[in-house]
Amino acid sequence: MFEFRKTGHRQRQTVLLRAWVAGLFALVCLLLLAGRLWYLQIERYDTLSARAEQNRITIVPVPPRRGQIADRNGAILAQNLRDYTLTVTRAQVRGDIDDMLDRLGELVYLSEGDRRKFKRLYQQSGRYAPVLLRNNLNDIEASWFAIHSYRFPGVSLEARWVRSYPMHESAAHVLGFVGRISEEDQQALEDSGQLGNYRGTQIIGKKGIEKTWEKTLHGRTGIEELEVTAGGRPVRELSRTDPVPGSNLELSLDIGLQRLAEAQFEGRRGALVAIQPHTGEVLAFVSSPSFDPNLFVDGIDVENWRKLNESPDHPLINRPLYGTYPIGSTYKPFVGLAALEMGLRTAKEQIPDPGYFELAGQKFRNAGGAVYGPTDMHRAIVVSSDTYFFSLGAQMDVDALHDFSKRFGFGQITGIDLDGERHGVLPSRDWKRKAYKKPGQQHWYQGETVSVTVGQGYNAFTLLQLAQATAVLANDGVYMKPHLVRRIIDPLTGRFSYPVTGPQYTIDLKPDNLRVIREAMVDVMRKGTARRAFAGAAYQAAGKTGTAQVYSLRGAKYRAHSVDERLRDHALFMAYAPVEDPQIAVALIVENGGWGASVAAPIARSVFDYWLDPARVARRRERMRVEQEARAAQVGPASAAPGWPDAQPAPDDEGTPEPAPLPDEASAPEDGAQEENP
């Protein structure tokens, strides 16, 4: 009995001890929990409440609407259209991506091309970067996906502004195109401190005006503050800072003139630039063949890229800006003016022209073997006597010609508001020393100057340089910076500014010498090499034809029909009109076209006829009057636009030579002439 009571007592003590231990353990846990709660609720309240607020609120960038681009008459060249897209974020996708695409394809049409492009981009993108799957969804497709979107985590339906070029291939090399922001673009934006302004933006200017004026066209990104659920779904908008749309650009191009000029090059390779001499406004800028910039907006497909990139006609090359050519006899008016300014010849001084010029036993012949007899400067320009200018080359110092020609923009960066402009080659002794490494090749020979004076030899200029030089000549030596953006218009206030408001400089030229060259160029149109193309014109133009060799004949007689088409001579022409008050200056080249008089001059005639049509002239004057009134009413002076390139023309040297990008742009010793070795 006693043992039984003793055992029961021990059991009660054990249970009581265990109860005390359990209670103590519970108390310790409770104290730890209370301490933790105190630490989180009191000690770290500010930090954790801010973090919770951040989880509740998300900041969403609102990309701005890109500025529109129009021609001088208001015709839209680049615009923004509303578009529905499907994007995929890898970090949010559940399961196999191919299975997801198959299931999604039952709701929304996905072509094989869409899938291929998506997979390529998907592999290259980060985990949290949205990747475009399909664009241009119609309203039915968009609404159908919205209903079933819960089945596709990671796939988002978005409305966006998409860039569109309604003129398609017309003026494509001017406008350029936009494309998806690449890693290189991101790095460039980060280096310039602009990356924050591109949050939420997927495209950026890649070429042309779209690239050069990117900062102005892009605008400023807005911010939207949203309250979201734990799953990230938006509940309500808390605040919003609206984006600032990009400025609209009004180009100096006349799209009617542009299309007319482009039609003249149908099936041909070549380039044309038309400039208003008094303002420097580019009226037409043709590179043929062209391409459709709409192909690049969301990434060009492999098939179209192969067609453009592998075409022997090189449609992606901006010929007026990047192609360099010998300009043949179109250089002669400038060489003649240089000779007059240097005092090497007088206007009336005659030299014999037996059909060739001989220097050190080498004969340089006139084109076609023509013989002109006693020839002064006026006649030499009108009939395009190579012999006359060959003889000038024997007297002229190449460095002096270099210094004179560079003031007109030859071999220099003009500073036009396009990317990728080339210097070309304006030869000089210093240029040759830098161009060649072997000492024996660095010496300049007088025979090389003979070739240079007729626009051949080492000369390699862009069509833009020839057009600009023609405009400066028409403007009596006043150099206006060539430009394509005429006005920048603020979409919110309607205020506008002008990027170019005055001349860069003026070349000091004697009026009498200018008159000699002008009268000779007028007679080229009246009774010289361009008389047939300009017969019956209602205005008086001044110009010069040119034919430039693609390769040296080495004494052989030129027969176009027996030469490969891409080795035939280039046809060139430069002119301005009307002579008494120049309103347009044109330079053009038809690659491998043959004679400038019969191929290139008629194209310029059609351009002049369009621009100088009395009805169009009257409408332009009325628009100018209205614009001047609006400009006068605008408070404050017009300021230069942000983002305007600061490249300056002429005075610096051209540097090392740049090889021509096209296979048929090689230079040759003389203009349309033949050389005969003793």
| Token couple for 537 | 């014109």
DSSP codes joined into one string, 47-94: HHHHHHHHHHEEEEEEPPPPPPEE-TT--EEEEEEEEEEEEE-GGG--
Place of tokens 């010849």: 345
**The amino acid at 351:** I
Please report how the helices 112-124 and 97-105 are oriented relative to each other, as an axis angle in degrees rounded to 10: 150
Chain position carrying tokens 């742009």: 665
The pair phi, psi for residue 126, each rounded to 5°, is: -80, 175
Active site residue 451: no
Nearest Cα to Cα of residue 602 among 268, 191, 377 = 268
Q: Which residues are registered as beta bridge partners of 548?
A: 570
124 exposed, middle or buried (CB, 10 Å; 0-12, 13-18, 19+)? exposed
Residue that the structure tokens 């730890």 belong to: 32
**151 Cβ contact partners less than 8 Å away, ≥ 6 residues apart:** 103
Q: Report helix angle 255-264 to 601-611, nearest 10.
A: 160
Catalytic residue (choose from 247, 329, 405, 497): 329
Q: Specify whether the backbone of 538 is left (phi greater than 0), alpha (psi in -120 to 50) or beta.
A: alpha
Q: Which residue has the tokens 């497709």?
A: 141
Q: Where are the alpha helices (DSSP H) in 267-373?
A: 302-309, 319-322, 332-342
Q: For the chain, give me the number of helices (H) and strands (E)?
A: 22, 22
Q: Cα separations (Å) of 220 from 201, 215, 495?
A: 11, 9, 18
Q: Which of 321, 407, 328 is nearest to 654 (CA)?
A: 407
What residues contact 284, with CB distance under 8 A and at least 6 apart?
A: 253, 254, 257, 258, 261, 272, 273, 274, 607
Grouping H, G, I as helix, E, B as strand and the rest as coil, residue 379 is helix
Sequence-ordered strand ranges (E) for 520-620: 542-548, 570-577, 584-590
Q: Which two tokens stand for residue 643?
A: 């983002």
Handedness of CA 589, 590, 593, 595 (dihedral sign): negative
Report the C-alpha gap between 631 and 125 in whole angstroms: 48
DSSP letters, 312-380, are: TT-TTS-HHHH--B--GGGGHHHHHHHHHHHTS--TT--B--SSEEEETTEEEEPGGG----SB-HHHH
At which residue do the structure tokens 């600032």 appear? 244
Catalytic residues: 329
